[in-house]
Amino acid sequence: MKYINIEWDDLSVNINLSCFLPEGGVAEYHAIIELNNKYNNAEIQYRDIEAALERLQQSDILRGSALVLKRYFVSDAVNQSQFLKRKNEDAAVSVVQQPPLNGTKVSVWAYFVADSRIYTDGYGTTILSRPHFKHIYNTQLQKSLKDEYAETECIFNTYLESLYLHGCTLKDNCIRTWIYVQGVDVHYSEMVKARIACFNREGLNKETHYIASTGIEGRYTDAQTLVLMDAYAIKGISQEQVKYLHASTHLNPTHEYGVTFERGTTVDYGDRRHIFISGTASIDNNGEIVHLTNIEKQIERTIENIEVLLAEADAVINDISKMIVYLRDTADYQIVSDYLDKYYKELPKVIVWAPVCRPGWLIEIECIAIKEIEANQFEKF
């Protein structure tokens, strides 16, 4: 993985970019775009973020690459929704109120792929088309209803219909979900129950498999929305290409404490391995919180858990292409920022405010890693 830092003073922007450049294969890029002037008003900050996205895509580094996905981490989704109106573009657009903890109003994670075609199906789904696979992105799935259970049920039913239209199923094709819950301390448990009910109907259980996921605090531009979901699936994938990570020396199966997601999922192609690490916290293999109330120790344990998961996929920290860090307490930001800058300065990462699903977890980290492999039994990415 090659890491590049870009600073554009005229836009008050800092970009950390990861570049996966396999020999003879298609390039992938993940960018974390952050503002460094928190005193500009919202209109200026969004203007600068959009200008940075456009300039980056037109740069010599990314020229010819397609924007696949961009996620806005915003400080006030309701009031800033006017700056988030969808443009005439095919990229998947994700929006979640998880305030950047550097004090600005918006940060962006953007994913680009070279030599690819991006299109939408007319129903809000974005497809990255490659010669042998279609990568399917559904974002901003939500429906304001009477409670979080009903919303979750509706969201998954909508998603199942979308998958069906593309000849896919939840069990065979969905690789990753992000589920955002407003008031996670209160509304998370009913979301979990609705998800379990859906999974049971679709054949996902402890005997088969679940889906890599992050379930965490997040709000939407509609203030009444309690549950919001993004999802990623792959059409054309075979069961042999997908493996699930356990790290059983450090973590336990999630179903043992009543939730249903995989700790991590790998997808092998002929030329690379994609590794999706779910939201990971300071937990042990009994499902207990490690280092209660101690943010410094929780950072270390969380990173250790991620390293063990990556090792199971024959990968290391330097294979990470992007990292999202969620904090419960804004007062912990400087400690966490200093730690990550000391040990992982080059990694594209963003730190946001988003309480984790269990109050005792002060920090949660998710990441994506990419590793070059030779697996000639599979088609290339």
Residue written as token pair 């992105």: 137
Render pLDDT for 111-142 as a digit per residue (tens, 0 to 9).
Answer: 999 999 999 998 889 999 999 999 999 999 99
Q: What is the pLDDT of residue 354?
A: 99
pLDDT of residue 122: 80
- For residue 124, the model assigns a pLDDT of 83
Instruction: List, for the chain, all residue ranges whose pLDDT scores fall below the cut of 50.
Output: none
pLDDT digits (tens, 9 = 90+) for 22-48: 988 999 999 999 999 999 999 999 999
Instruction: Please give the pLDDT value at position 119.
Output: 96
Give residue 192's pLDDT.
97
Question: How much is the pLDDT for 92?
Answer: 96
pLDDT on residue 63: 85
Residue 12 vs residues 87, 100, 107, 279, 353: alpha-carbon distances, Å: 23, 15, 12, 30, 22
Locate all alpha helices (DSSP H) within the chain, ordered by sequence: 42-58, 77-80, 148-165, 170-173, 184-202, 295-312, 333-344
Contacts of 49 by beta carbon, 8 Å cutoff, 6+ apart: 13, 33, 35, 72, 106, 107, 108
pLDDT value at position 64?
84
All domains of the chain in start order, with CATH:
1-116 (3.30.1330), 121-237 (3.30.1330.40), 266-381 (3.30.1330.40)
